[in-house]
Structures are given as structure tokens and as C-alpha cells.
Amino acid sequence: MLYEKKFKNSLKSRLGFYLRRKQNLGFYLRRRQARGFTLLELLVVFSVIGILTGIGFASFVSYSKKQSIDQTAQDLKTAIDEARFSAVSRVKPSGCGTNTLDRYQVIPCANGGSNVCNTPSDLYQLAAICISGVTEQVVAQPAKKRPQNIIVNLNPAECGTYGGINYYALKNGFSPISGCRVVITTTDTTMARTLCIDAGGNASIKEGTSATPPTCP
């Protein structure tokens, strides 16, 4: 009986402790809600939110620029690959009519230098060149617009006066025979891609920055 009585007293004591603790917690929370947040607490919260927002925005801008320059380089490479494949396969567009397909030509629209494209805002100019005797017929192919935050440069000494990258169907050849480089940069010069076209007409993309532009092998 004595043990049972002690046990009951101990249980009552513990139960009373938990009830008082619960009441104190409730009182603290009600007081907290009534009192609100201090100016220092609000400043800390808004400072953390501002820092996280700044980091997120900077990351988004960097990601957006990378996507833009990568897509631009890939679009230009795709056009060059298409011209090369069409010339090798001797695919003559219907616009040539009865004329003979001579070559496919890609001209990068170099807004960083002398832009010779018919539509300067395009990324490139792709055309099939057909001939009838000594007369050339230019049959333009679909092109893509150049993003506003992108600059395209090429070296006329390498790529020819007009930067024309030619794939011949009749002679089954490529010019310029020494190859050609097209450098693509962002307007803030933080990112760069070099499109390398070797002497065989094969195109590849190299990654770098404007400060250390990637070079072709």
C-alpha cells in the first residue's frame, strides 16, 4: 500500500509539472502573438530573403546567357552540317528548277564586323547555289534570328571576303580549303564559343571566355 501511495503521488506530481509547463507555453505563445515581431527580427528576415533572391537572380541570368550562347553555336553548327550533308547528297531544292546544283553556302551574319547578310538580324544565311552556264542562281533556305545578347565575329582572312563557307556538289569539295573560325560571344563578353570548321569542312564547338577565347586545333 505504501508503494502504491508513493507511486500515485509521484504520478500526480509529474502530471502537475506537465500541465504547468503546457500552460506556461500557451501563455508564452499568446504573449508572443500579441507582442508581434521586433524590428531587428524583421530586418534579419528581410535581409535573408534579399540575399537568397539576389543569389537566385544572378544564377538565373548566368544560366540564361549560357543557354543562349550554346543554342546559338549549335544552330550555326546545324546549318553548316545541313549544307555539308545536302551538298554531299546532291540534294537540289525545287527552286533550282532545271539548273544544275553547284554548291551550298553558309554565311555567318557577323554583327561584330562587316555584316553582308541580306537580313542583318539573322544568325546566318544559308543558300543553295545553282548554275546555268555561267549564271548563278541563289535559292535561299530557311534561317534563324540571332539573339539580341549575342555577337558573331569571323576572320575574313580565313573565311573569305564574305565569310562564305561553301560545300560543292559537283566537285565534291569544300572552301575555304584552310578552314574557318567563327567566334560567338555574349554582349557582356563573359562567355564565348568558337565554331571550328576544319579543312575537310567538319564543324565543332569549343568553349571558353572572351578574355581567353577558345582556339581551333
What pTM did the predictor assign? 0.70
pLDDT in tens, 155-180: 666 776 556 788 888 665 666 656 78
Sorted by where each begins, the domain ranges of the chain are 2-36, 46-208
pLDDT in tens, 42-53: 788 888 888 888
CATH fold of 46-208 reads minor pseudopilin epsh fold (3.55.40)
pLDDT in tens, 190-207: 888 988 888 788 889 988
User: For residues 129 and 132, what is the distance between their CA atoms, to the nearest angstrom?
Assistant: 10
Residues pairing with 104 in the sheet: 128, 167
Q: Where are the alpha helices (DSSP H) in the chain?
A: 2-35, 39-89, 156-159
* Residue 36: all three cell numbers together: 508581434
CB 69 within 8 A of CB 195: no
pLDDT in tens, 4-40: 445 445 545 554 544 455 455 455 455 555 566 677 7
